[in-house]
A and B are shown apart, each in its own frame.
Chain A
Amino acid sequence: MTQPMARLRRKAADNLLAYAFLAAGLACFALFSWYPLVRGIVLSFQQVNFVTDPWWVGLDNYRALFDDPLFWTAWRNTLVFTGMALVLGYALPFAVAVLINEFRHLTGLFRVLVYLPVMLPPIVSVLLWRYFYDPGDGLFNTVLRGVGLPESQWTQSPRTAMISLVLVSTWANMGGATLMYLAALQGVPGELYEAAELDGASVWQRLRHVTIPQLRFVLLVLLLLQIIATMQVFIEPFQLTGTSSPDTITVMVLIYRYAFTVNNDFGLAAAMSVLLFGVLGAFSALYLRLTRNAD
């Protein structure tokens, strides 16, 4: 009779202790992750003015979004950015990793070099490239002039602004993907190449039929990561072209603009965030599923 009671009491004490250890973590997650998720969704149906309490407006925020031409521009720009960043930021690291992996010398140095820009604070990369992009005597135009090519307005022309943003972003971020490809390439069994070669496969065929299928999983995961990351692009358009340029305004910049600059409309910004979350949540769920199963 007393023994089960004592065991129960010990179990309760153990649980209490465990939750004491968990308390700080639970509080932080509750305050800055779980509660904001709920509040964000609620907020998207509300109007906030900080004088009175928030009031319900139903779908008004969403309607206002769909009526705002900037909303569509921001989504189009974001998709263009993500698309170009996929072509560049997805293919380039792969090509670079395959190339470096063939080298028998200096591989450590190559890794350090390609990862160096990743370590810079992103705002530094962007502000540095602002000097390169300067339409007057910027470094890029000086070089173009030097080799007799036409100069460009870079970030200041609607035609080249977006690709300019993609270029900085790729430069600053490609190191991470490159290192992950390199790690994966080390895991490709050498016998497969051996066998393919015996069967008369050329280098390209080996790349096509051995390397790429072997890296399929990593390629897929990095595709998802790249989509999730680039759809949240902020610093590049914010700093290089500002929050009001319709040529480069992106979803994140528009959220910032709704909430913190022009409108100060938190409900509108929350509605936009919910839509972004809806799109990205699908990719994130897929990513988590894939990587959890890999364990």
Chain B
Amino acid sequence: MTLTAPPPTRVTPPATAPARRRPRASGPRTLISAADLHRHRVAYLVVLALTLVAFCLVFLFPLYWMASGALKSPQEFAQNPPTLVPHTVHPETYATAWDSMRIGRYFLNTVGYALGAWLVQLTVAVAAAYALSKLRPMFGRVVLGAMLASLMLPAAALLVPAYLTVTDVPLLHVNLLNTPWALWLPAAANAFNVYVLKRFFDQIPNDLLDAAAIDGAGRLRVLWSVVLPLSRPVLGVVSIFAIIGTWKDFLWPLLVLQDPDAQTLSVALSRLANTSQVPPTQFLAGLVIASVPMIAVFLIFQRSIIGGLSAGSLKG
């Protein structure tokens, strides 16, 4: 399943991660009782061990194969049967890939796009959510409804007309192809962000805002000094998903970044896979470099990501 954004349901604030790990022995009752598990201790441990082995083989081994394959010499990589542990280690392959495939450039491109998309998405969504939640303008509900309705549009359906919009923006008549704005502006039209932030802002008591207003704070000042500091958890979740989303995106950047110099790492890797004769070890190094930031983000923000997904899921 390709979940580009977590489902727009109840990431009710504060999106703190629920207990990630169940208490060991006396957890809530599940399918099989604790007593039964204890009685069949050996069977339990065998199943646990088998599952662990299967999980490592299925989910971890491909990543190990990728990272270690990049370390092998090209001769060793081509060898059959393949070696499990590289006989000779060539970390310089990563450096070579960084230079010769211009991975460095695409990497920095992607970092720039991700940071910009994060900033633009957050600015646009926070301002909109603040207006809808606290300034409550006329037709606010209509506006929110129209934004939420866009969640029903599969991205696929908008591909061609959105592409044409980028090539010639209505009214302004500028061409955004191969510019960062071609990624940033469509990403900012994200109803999920607005919805989650608005739901969170709704929970902030108006008394708090009124008190700040009496102290002479303007609307912008209230947003900056009262609302935003209180919203750190939800801002964190939105930020993580914004950055991950940009890093993983493929089809849209493929369309709007045709100039190789402007491409993201994903698009460049796809192009290089189809056109060039890069040695496989170097290519694998490129794949690893593309994955490392995401895996690092995941390991650091595990709690928020898994918690966000779980909180965003649904109680039956």
Contacts and interface: CB of A to CB of B under 8 A. Distances in A.
Contact of B162 (A32, A185, A191): A32
A173 B3 contact: yes
Contact of B31 (A19, A174, A203, A225): A203
Contacts of B151: 284, 288
A122 B51 contact: no
B31 A116 contact: no
Contacts of A100: 51
B29 interface: yes
B191 to A, nearest CB: 8
A36 B158 contact: yes
B258 to A, nearest CB: 9
Interface in B131-170: 131-132, 135-138, 140, 143, 146-148, 150-165, 169-170
Interface stretch (B61-69, B87-95, B207-215, B228-236): B61-69
Interface string A217-249: 110011001101110111100010000000000
Contacts of B28: 186, 190
Interface string B45-87: 0011001100110111011011001000000001011100000
B159 A255 contact: yes
Interface string A153-182: 000000000000000010101101101101
A285 interface: yes
Interface string B251-262: 100010000000
A14 B135 CA distance: 7
Given A115-B306, A194-B29, A266 B160 contact: yes
B302 to A, nearest CB: 6
Nearest to B270: A123
Interface residues of A, number: 124
B124 interface: yes
Given A17-B135, A21-B130, A232 B154 contact: yes
Residue among A19, A171, A182 with the highest chain B CB neighbour number at 10 A:
A19
Given A182-B310, A215-B316, A281-B152, A25 B188 contact: yes
B161 A119 contact: no
- What secondary structure prevails in chain B residues at the interface with A? helix
Given A37-B158, A124-B291, A180-B313, A22 B7 contact: no
A6 interface: no
A117 B1 CA distance: 12
A195 B27 CA distance: 17
A277 B311 CA distance: 29
Contact of B248 (A34, A122, A222): A122
Contacts of B266: 121-124
Contacts, number: 349
Given A37-B153, A229-B3, A294-B314, A29 B146 contact: yes
Given A43-B164, A122-B248, A295-B10, 19 more contacts: A25-B125, A25-B128, A28-B189, A32-B165, A32-B189, A104-B27, A107-B22, A112-B298, A115-B306, A124-B287, A131-B69, A137-B82, A183-B310, A193-B29, A206-B31, A230-B1, A234-B251, A269-B160, A273-B157
Interface of A: 14-15, 17-19, 21-22, 24-26, 28-29, 31-37, 39-40, 43, 85, 89, 98-124, 127-132, 137, 139, 142, 146, 169, 171, 173-174, 176-177, 179-180, 182-188, 190-191, 193-194, 197, 203, 206-207, 210-211, 214-218, 221-222, 225-226, 228-230, 232-235, 239, 251-252, 255-256, 259-260, 266, 269-270, 273-274, 276-277, 280-281, 284-285, 288, 291, 294-295
29 contacts: A19-B137, A22-B128, A25-B128, A28-B185, A29-B147, A32-B158, A32-B189, A99-B47, A102-B30, A107-B22, A108-B20, A112-B298, A121-B247, A121-B291, A171-B59, A179-B306, A179-B309, A180-B314, A183-B18, A206-B31, A215-B316, A217-B316, A218-B314, A252-B156, A255-B160, A284-B151, A284-B152, A284-B154, A288-B8
Interface of B: 1-3, 7-10, 18, 20-22, 24-25, 27-34, 37, 47-48, 51-52, 55-56, 58-60, 62-63, 65-66, 69, 78, 80-82, 123-125, 127-128, 130-132, 135-138, 140, 143, 146-148, 150-165, 169-170, 185-186, 188-189, 191, 194, 219, 244, 247-248, 250-251, 255, 265-267, 269-270, 273, 280, 283-284, 287, 290-291, 294-295, 297-299, 302, 305-306, 309-311, 313-316
